[in-house]
Chains A and B, each alone.
Chain A
Amino acid sequence: MAEPMRIRATMAGDVADIKVLMNHPMETGQRKDAKTGQLIPAHFIQTVKAEVNGKTVLDAQWSVAISRNPFLGFKVKGAKAGDKVTVSWTDNKGDKNSAEATVA
Chain B
Amino acid sequence: MNFARRTFIKGAGAAGTVAVAVAAGLIKPTEVLASEWNKAAFEAKGVADALKAIGVASAADSKDIQIKAPDIAENGAVVPVEVTSNIAGTEAIALLVEKNATPLVADFALSNGAVGYVSTRIKMGQTSNVRVVVKAGGKYYAAVKEVKVTIGGCGG
Residues on A close to B: CB < 8 A? 15, 19, 28, 30, 46-47, 49-50, 52, 55-68, 70-79, 90
Contact = CB atoms under 8 A, between A and B. Distances in A.
A66 B120 contact: yes
Given A47-B37, A61-B106, A62-B105, A67 B122 contact: yes
Nearest to A79: B113
A30 B100 CA distance: 12
A36 to B, nearest CB: 22
B105 to A, nearest CB: 4
Given A59-B30, A59-B33, A66 B112 contact: no
Nearest to A18: B114
B38 A61 contact: yes
Interface residues of B, number: 37
Contacts of A74: 108, 110, 114-115, 117-119
Given A60-B118, A65-B122, 6 more contacts: A49-B34, A56-B30, A58-B108, A61-B37, A67-B121, A73-B120
A39 to B, nearest CB: 14
Contacts of B102: 63-65
A61 B110 CA distance: 12
B110 A58 contact: yes
Contact of A67 (B77, B100, B117): B77
